[in-house]
Chain A
Amino acid sequence: MSSPAWLSATFAGVMLTVALYCAGRLVVARLRRRPTELDTDAAHITMGVAMAGMLVPGLRVLPAGLWEAVFVAGAAWFGGQTLRARRAAASSAWRCPHPAPHIVECAAMLYMFLALPAAGLRAPMGAMSASAAGSRFSFLPLLLALFLLGYVVRQGDRITAQASAALGASPGRTHHALAPRCAALCKIAMGLTMGYMLILML
């Protein structure tokens, strides 16, 4: 049994849009010297492209092993940032101040690549649920999905406050963050799509 092709294609389209938008953010941030979370945007580019490839086989650009290495590196980076934040080191406007959820996102990506057999990776995501069903770790995707859905609603809750924070910033300051609400919307789209893919693996 597999998801309708249009549904997988829609989620894949959203992911590619997020990846493209985040790539644009990196360019605009450099050109206009407006801070953005470089690490978060870079992570969303890789996750967006990787998930689009899992949802629609025709969009796969890298082998699973390479993606796994990328997300191990991502988890290590955000892990390091979390330790740094715990030591109360000075934060930068160019790095994510709350990196812990991104560790979970990287872990979720790793789980998806590791849990699915090679045969499954050649099929669309919606057709792969059965292959993961017998896993001893079937509760893990549920926990990951619930965490990500919690992250999504927390981001949704913060959007209004982020808009006010942006309005409250002095016009002359260089620390005026680049489109914080759009960044939050990217996190929401990413969390929902990842949650959907994890639920398919239950």
Chain B
Amino acid sequence: MSQSFAVGRAAARPAAGEPHASVAALDPRRKLQLALAVLWLLDGILQYQPSMFTRAFPQMLGSTAHGNPALVAAPITWSAGFIGHHLAVANGLFATTQVALGLGIAWRPAVRLALAASVGWAAAVWWLGEGLGGVLAGTASPVGGAPGAVILYAVLAVLLWPADRDGPFVAARAVGRGPALAAWLAVWGSIAVFALLPASRAPQGLSGMISGMASGEPNWLAWLDTRLAVALTHQGLLASAVLAAVFTIVAAGVFLPARLGRAVLVLAVVVAVALWLAQGLGGIFTGAGTDPSSAPLLALLALSYWPRSLA
């Protein structure tokens, strides 16, 4: 027996005496929320890795201050210093908070609280942990995870909020069609712009970034990234222009009729997978990755815009 019920409401009761009844069918939004919860859990567990309990972690946080305006950089430097002085406690708390966010999203009575908390947490980490994704420093690049993986968690938390508006796709049910389309345009449009910044379009820009990702990776991924980096050697401008064009097409895709829109969303997922490989899967195989980078979140974002019908 399978029964469907809305997220955040009381669960349906199966017939009495059926000990192993299938208790909950999942609607598309709930599936996406659970996927987001998995990513939060993965983040939390990555944060428990041994390297996060060493000085390398606050040093990595502190390094994101470089190139940012003083108003942005000063709190980053202060927080990195504070974390460095209370490393075990601070990192243990960070990891546990992220695990709690994942479990909270998974547990229906806490889903609203956990999503709201994840927006606040993501915003704080985006600033103090990722230096606003390098957006103000001019170092933002799609291959580097721009606009910052963690801010995409906040965007997804808003777009997957369990509100009951009527909409043609999941994201529109939370905030309405217009704001959801604006969010899509902002995310993918900004990535297109970042692809054209000097950090990416320099002759060795993308090639250098990708070859840097290969260090410490397993052989198969290092081989892939090294080959890609070699292919892009001295091709920074051309590769950046192609990337920007693809991201622009994706950004415009949700404004197309549903059938074409679906094709563009498939393209978005394919681009996200390719980007993830170029990002070295966020460095999670190196023992120093704090998250799987932006690509899995971009794929999740694309799925939340999948039209419910072709009408």
A contacts, CB < 8 Å to B:
1-4, 6-7, 35, 91, 93, 97, 126-127, 129, 133-136, 138-139, 142, 145-146, 149-150, 152-165, 167-170, 173, 175-177, 188, 192, 195-196, 199-200, 202
Contacts and interface: CB of A to CB of B under 8 A. Distances in A.
Contacts of B41: 149, 152-153, 192, 195
Given A161-B23, A168-B14, A202 B102 contact: no
Contacts of A142: 284-285
Given A156-B107, A199-B45, A164 B38 contact: no
Given A157-B34, A157-B108, A165 B45 contact: no
A145 to B, nearest CB: 7
B45 A145 contact: yes
Interface in B194-241: 218-220
Question: From DSSP, what is the main secondary structure of chain A's interface residues?
Answer: helix
A134 B287 CA distance: 12
Contact of B24 (A150, A158, A176): A158
Given A3-B49, A150-B34, A170-B16, 12 more contacts: A1-B54, A1-B287, A3-B48, A4-B53, A133-B218, A136-B220, A139-B218, A149-B102, A153-B38, A157-B108, A164-B14, A192-B99
Interface of B: 10-21, 23-24, 26, 30, 34, 37-38, 41-42, 45-46, 48-51, 53-54, 88, 92, 99, 102-103, 105-109, 218-220, 284-285, 287
A152 B11 contact: no
A161 B108 CA distance: 9
A41 to B, nearest CB: 15
B292 to A, nearest CB: 10
A159 B42 CA distance: 21
Nearest to B39: A149
Contact of B38 (A7, A138, A149, A155): A149
A162 B10 CA distance: 11
A157 to B, nearest CB: 5
A7 B15 CA distance: 43
A175 B17 contact: yes
B17 A169 contact: yes
Contacts of A1: 50-51, 54, 287
Contact of A154 (B34, B109, B219): B34
Contact of A195 (B20, B21, B45): B45
Given A3-B48, A192-B41, A177 B19 contact: yes
Contacts of A156: 37, 103, 106-107
30 contacts: A7-B48, A91-B20, A127-B50, A133-B218, A133-B287, A136-B219, A139-B218, A142-B284, A150-B38, A153-B34, A153-B37, A157-B34, A158-B23, A159-B107, A160-B108, A161-B12, A161-B23, A164-B11, A164-B12, A164-B14, A164-B23, A165-B11, A165-B21, A168-B13, A169-B16, A173-B16, A188-B103, A196-B45, A196-B48, A200-B49
